[in-house]
Structure 1
Amino acid sequence: MEGRAHMESKNKEELIADLLALYGTELKRIAFMYVHDHALTEDILQEVFIACFNNLDHFRGESSYKTWLVKITVNKCKDSLRRWSIRNIIYKPKIDMQKLHHSSPESTYITKVEDIELVEQVMKLPMKLRDVIILFYYQECSVEEVSSILNININTVKSRLFRARKKLEESMKGGDHEWRIN
């Protein structure tokens, strides 16, 4: 796992510091994908680690620390979205340097436009479908991890992924390209 025995031998403050160092960047990315606001992302991350600190004694070890922290992060993001009624985010894709060196400016532009269109369509999905897409594709969580994070059955995750892909394919067919979400 994560060297749980090693992690548990530390005091609470050391463990929180280690978890922040290990997962802080990834949790920040997840939060930003939900709220698309740097200041709000920092606030959410702070809330996540406060919740982690306050509930560390209740951590049962049924999942990894990472899964537990991602679940807390997703819940804090949803709380924030409900509180502030924020409905739009824009995903900033990771830059693949090899693609940049081997592609023309035109193809780079087209790819960027297509990425933005896809993200816009993802953000229009109902929250239940959006959650599984963000966690499965953008955060590269397994179906089992998505199930654990969202507290839903594995078959429900699979069903939501199927429905989300279908909706995305339908919504993207209106443009110049045929879209296929794998």
Structure 2
Amino acid sequence: MRDNRDIPIPFNQEKVHLNEQEKEQLLKELMASYSQKVFLLAYSFVQDHGMAEDISQEVFIKCYQNLNQYRGEASLSTWLYRITANTSKDVLRKNKLAILMQPWQFFEPSKRSESPEVSYLKQDQREEVLQSIFSLPIKYREILILYYFHEQKVEEIAVSLAINSNTVRTRLVRGRERLKRVLTSQIGE
């Protein structure tokens, strides 16, 4: 997977200068590189497979429509994550949806070199951790998902979610503490 810094984009601080063919090519590259991550982030908000797919499609449509507004102040991945977070929050506000089962297979494919038993045990552990993350309030969940699953830095998360970097740090610490308590209580059961 290519890093968005490798995707050449002609821009100045006012806007990107791309013709329709260049926009389509860039969109294809962004979708190839980020579609799964956009889906996962959307899913972390809505916890519904179909809804997350719809949000992912909407994110890339918005990306295409607004690509000429991208100023290069943040990386393309950060820009996409911000669109995803905002779109997901809009959907949550509009639908007030219920939490459904998690499609764990999208988070991390199992390794083929492992025995089926080892692969199953690892998958089971990942599911328990992810279930615990999804039990947290969204303000902690979104930070943990972006930090650990999308490997974003604190500053990138701050830009993605349009919040202060100190708020990100605080929520990251508190989210870890809450996650630890949830996991510890599950071990005690």
Deviations along 1:39-73, one digit per CA (max 9) or x if unpaired, are 32332233223333443343332112221121101
Deviations along 1:81-105, one digit per CA (max 9) or x if unpaired, are 22222343624331242xx534561
Q: Which SS does the other structure have where 1:10 is aligned?
A: coil
> Are the equivalent residues in 1 in contact too, given 2:38–2:81 (CA < 8 A)?
yes
> Partner residue of 2:146?
135
> Are the equivalent residues in 1 in contact too, given 2:18–2:68 (CA < 8 A)?
no
Give the Å deviation of 1:15.
4.2
- How large is the Cα RMSD of the aligned pairs? 2.6
> Partner residue of 1:14?
21
Aligned residues between the structures: 173
Give the whole-Å Cα distance in 1 for the aligned partners of 2:23 and 2:44.
23
> Partner residue of 1:163?
174
Deviations along 1:9-53, one digit per CA (max 9) or x if unpaired, are 531x33442343222223234323433444323322332233334
Which structure 1 segments of 5+ residues have no match? 178-182
Which stretch shifts more, 2-11 or 66-75?
2-11
TM-score, scaled relative to structure 1: 0.79
Give the whole-Å Cα distance in 2 for the aligned partners of 1:28 and 1:78.
14
Deviations along 1:90-127, one digit per CA (max 9) or x if unpaired, are 24331242xx534561x433332322221111112111
> Partner residue of 1:79?
90
> Partner residue of 1:180?
none
Structure 2 CA distance for partners of 1:47 and 1:95, relative to 1, 3 Å: closer
Give the Å deviation of 1:155.
1.9
Q: Does 1:62 align with 2:73?
A: yes
Correspondences of 1:13-162 after superposition (within 5 Å) = 13-24=20-31, 25=35, 26-88=37-99, 90=102, 91-92=104-105, 93-97=107-111, 101-103=113-115, 105=117, 107-162=118-173
TM-score, scaled relative to structure 2: 0.76
Give the Å deviation of 1:138.
1.1
Identity %: 34
